[in-house]
Chain A
Amino acid sequence: MSSPLLDIAGLSRRFRGLVAVDAVSFAVQPAAIHGLIGPNGAGKTTCFNLVSGLVAADAGTITLAGTRLEPLPVHARTRAGLARTFQNIRLFAEMSVLENTLCGQHTRRLAERAAKAQALELLDLVGLAARAGERAGALAYGDQRRLEIARALASAPKLLLLDEPAAGMNPAESEALALLLQQLRAGGTTLLLVEHDMGFVMRLCDRITVLNFGRVIAEGSPRDIRADPGVIEAYLGPALARRLGPVDP
């Protein structure tokens, strides 16, 4: 196995009495789509916040491509190659679609002309090129999610954290999103995603880590995870596990 792009070891965070993330360790391989799943309150978003620096870790290490992230402030982690989207979309609502994408390029200090050309390319990739001049806040929900992905990609990240990218999307939109994410993986971007749509996760992910009450309860390929009795017990439930398809021989 090649050395992982993201290596999380013994990561912990306590909010008063609640241990939100409890000695979590896992590694994300380069150019992979890695899923982080688990019931609500399992600590998935806290994990994202710890990696992106919005929440400080109590213990543990986070290493991205050889760089230790935990001593770095939020903006320096972006410079180190990290980008993320938010579960509750956080676009710059008053700015245009194109300007949002340009903001994402902040760390790259491109010349204005090159910046605009690259931003338009990214908008084209996510299917929003025709809306470049519109106010971001006026976009439909699914378009806002895609714009957030384009804005995150604009920093040319090594690792992109996606917090429920398919939430609120209709089947056609989530199908298009799956294609986009596969395209990104093929282009060498590594993705770590939190998602509740199990069909989406199982189809897309190369590897899955399951959290429950802040701890890792399972890790493996989608096939292993669907068959894991602990995961079925804590999260999937027997009915969904059956619907996700029999464990291939």
Chain B
Amino acid sequence: MFQDFLFTYQSLIDAVGINGLLALSLYVVLALGQLSLGQAAFMGIGAYSSALLTTRLQLPFPLVLLAAACLPALAALLIGRPTARLSGVYLALATIGFGEVLRIFYVNAEITGGALGLSGIPERAGFLWIYGTLAAASAGLALLCRTRIGRAMEAMRQDELAAGVMGIDLARYKLAALVASAALAGLAGAFDAHSSSFIAPGEFGFDAAVTILSFALLGGTGSPFGPVLGAVILTLLPELLRPLQDFRLVLNGLIIVLVVLFLPRGLLAWRIGRVR
């Protein structure tokens, strides 16, 4: 019974988990008050590198996943150093630029299959891989909330200047968050490539970055569960409203506007319990 269900809705179920992972990856950055629009680009690095490692080198899947987490993390380290002093909208702009550069590279490079993308990627990312990673990542982040590091992140989000005066190394935290976030997005990219068996440059552009942001905005960023909830809703919604499929982006935009206006803390405003 469950097997049948899984088979019928496999691609949708996979997409929900992958988008949940992407939402979590953005949460890591939002949790300390930074805004990255580079999540789609990091995802793209994970997707393309994993697809190439699987199809060209026939590497085992766990090793491919490791590479799909490490390569975007390395990219984040490289762009994070010069942008560490940026915050707010400036970091967002820098990461948009980074994403566009990569997208143009994917479109033009031969190894990435140009505008046609890569196809025939073996379907190796099943339910267990995707949801196991999602569960582990959300549990890890939820546990982090009540530690010294989690408190430092929240302090940065609430008052960066005061957080610095508390002795928190702001630049180091920002860089670490961007690197961790890139690794998660890279994993999501690898799962995407190995579940849909086809990737193209269009999936990793600015639209995708904004969609990922809308997951977090809808769900709320008080806890790691908010963005995941947002991803679940916004991935299922177009399926439930199939007639509106063409207006999907309009609907996403509308939801962002409505949430910002009426639910500034998102659907799940709940914050991981205060220490008493």
Contacts and interface: CB of A to CB of B under 8 A. Distances in A.
Interface in A94-112: 94-96, 98-99, 102-107, 109, 112
A95 B167 contact: no
Interface stretch (B34-42, B104-112, B147-155): B147-155
Contacts, number: 84
B276 A78 contact: no
B169 interface: yes
Nearest to B148: A106
Interface residues of B, number: 22
Contacts of B162: 86, 90-92
Interface in A111-150: 112, 115-116, 132-133, 135
B101 interface: no
B158 interface: yes
Contacts of B276: 96, 98, 132-133
Contact of B170 (A75, A104, A135): A75
B254 interface: no
B257 to A, nearest CB: 24
B interface: dominant SS: helix
A73 B173 CA distance: 14
Contact of B167 (A75, A112, A115): A75
A207 interface: no
B63 interface: no
Given A75-B169, A103-B163, A103-B166, A112 B155 contact: no
A155 interface: yes
Interface string A191-206: 0000000000000000
Interface in B71-130: none
A192 to B, nearest CB: 15
Contact of A95 (B147, B148, B164, B274): B274
A54 B158 CA distance: 17
Contacts of A23: none
A104 B166 contact: yes
The 4 closest A-B pairs by CB, nearest first: A78-B167, A133-B276, A107-B167, A96-B274
A218 B220 CA distance: 54
B161 interface: yes
B167 A79 contact: yes
A91 B162 CA distance: 8
Nearest to B222: A94
Contacts of B165: 52, 54, 74-75, 78, 83-84
A185 B189 CA distance: 58
A116 B166 contact: no
Contacts of A86: 162
A43 B170 CA distance: 27
A228 to B, nearest CB: 33
Nearest to A155: B167
Contacts of B274: 95-96, 98-99, 133, 135
B261 to A, nearest CB: 21
A161 to B, nearest CB: 10
B155 A103 contact: yes
Nearest to B172: A75
B207 interface: no
Given A75-B170, A95-B154, A103-B152, 20 more contacts: A52-B165, A54-B161, A73-B164, A73-B169, A74-B164, A75-B166, A75-B167, A75-B168, A75-B169, A95-B151, A102-B148, A103-B166, A105-B148, A106-B168, A107-B166, A112-B148, A115-B148, A116-B275, A135-B274, A155-B167
Contacts of A103: 151-152, 155, 163, 166
